[in-house]
Structure 1
Amino acid sequence: MAKILLTEDDIAVRTFVSRALQLDGHDIVMAEDGEEALNVLTEDEGRFDLLLTDVKMPIMDGIALTHHASKNWPTLPILIMTGYADQRERAKGLEEIIKDVVTKPFSLADIRTAVNCALTDKIAA
């Protein structure tokens, strides 16, 4: 199916999301923070079908990662996850860049649906 770069600093969430998306046959590459994700994107020359990133992370947060990724790979779809209301507000300025914001906590079905919608260019319900 799709090659997805999953960027999440919480290992439990990263593992949960990775397993959920692997159920749909996606190839998941994981990064622990935005800086590592940017390095992976650079090494692979942005050849991903989706960047799925948390907002609040150490070193480089998801907002900074989103700006770098969209500048360097403007056709790369980006989906943001966050559990913090203030971080969700920061993501609101990115409507032109991102596909959607998924609010944590989310269910297995929620993240699978959001990713499918981002990959098919639909708006998640």
Structure 2
Amino acid sequence: MARILIADDEESMRLLVARAIAMDGHQTVTAEDGGHALEILVQEDGAFDLLLTDIKMPIMDGIALALTVARDFPKLTILLMTGFADQRERASGLDAIIHDVVTKPFSVAEIRAAVAEALASRS
């Protein structure tokens, strides 16, 4: 199954998403902000199938993270999450580097489906 890096500054959201994705047999690693996620990616030489990141986070937001990841690890599929319309709008110009933006709040079924679709698009 896939190896997925989840970055979100809300611990409850990180845990929910990690548990939901693990239901499909995926291995998850979590980070509390974009800076930590980038550290993990660099340490592991981008050895993930998917980056699932919140947009609005301290230290490094999801858009800055996505731009850096697209440059340094171009094969990594990127899926963004946000509960803010203005943040979704900020992401609209990133179609070339991100797979999609998932709107919070979402159900376990919705995030599992979004992850499955993002992973299926990799081929």
In structure 2, the partner of 1:35 is 35
Offset at residue 120 of structure 1 (A): 0.3
Identical aligned pairs, as a percentage?
58
TM-score normalised to the size of structure 1?
A: 0.96
Q: Secondary structure at the match of 1:53?
A: strand
Offset at residue 75 of structure 1 (A): 0.9
In structure 2, the partner of 1:22 is 22
Q: Secondary structure at the match of 2:42?
A: helix
In structure 1, the partner of 2:97 is 97
In structure 1, the partner of 2:71 is 71
Q: Distance in 2 between matches of 1:44 and 1:120?
A: 23
Q: How many residues align?
A: 122
In structure 2, the partner of 1:109 is 109
Letter in 2 for 1:111: I
In structure 2, the partner of 1:80 is 80
Alignment of structure 1 residues 47-66 onto 2, 5 Å:
47-66=47-66
Offset at residue 118 of structure 1 (A): 0.2
In structure 2, the partner of 1:10 is 10
- CA RMSD in angstroms comes to 0.8
Offset at residue 56 of structure 1 (A): 0.2
TM-score normalised to the size of structure 2?
A: 0.98
Q: Which runs of 5+ in 1 are unaligned?
A: none
Q: Secondary structure at the match of 1:40?
A: helix
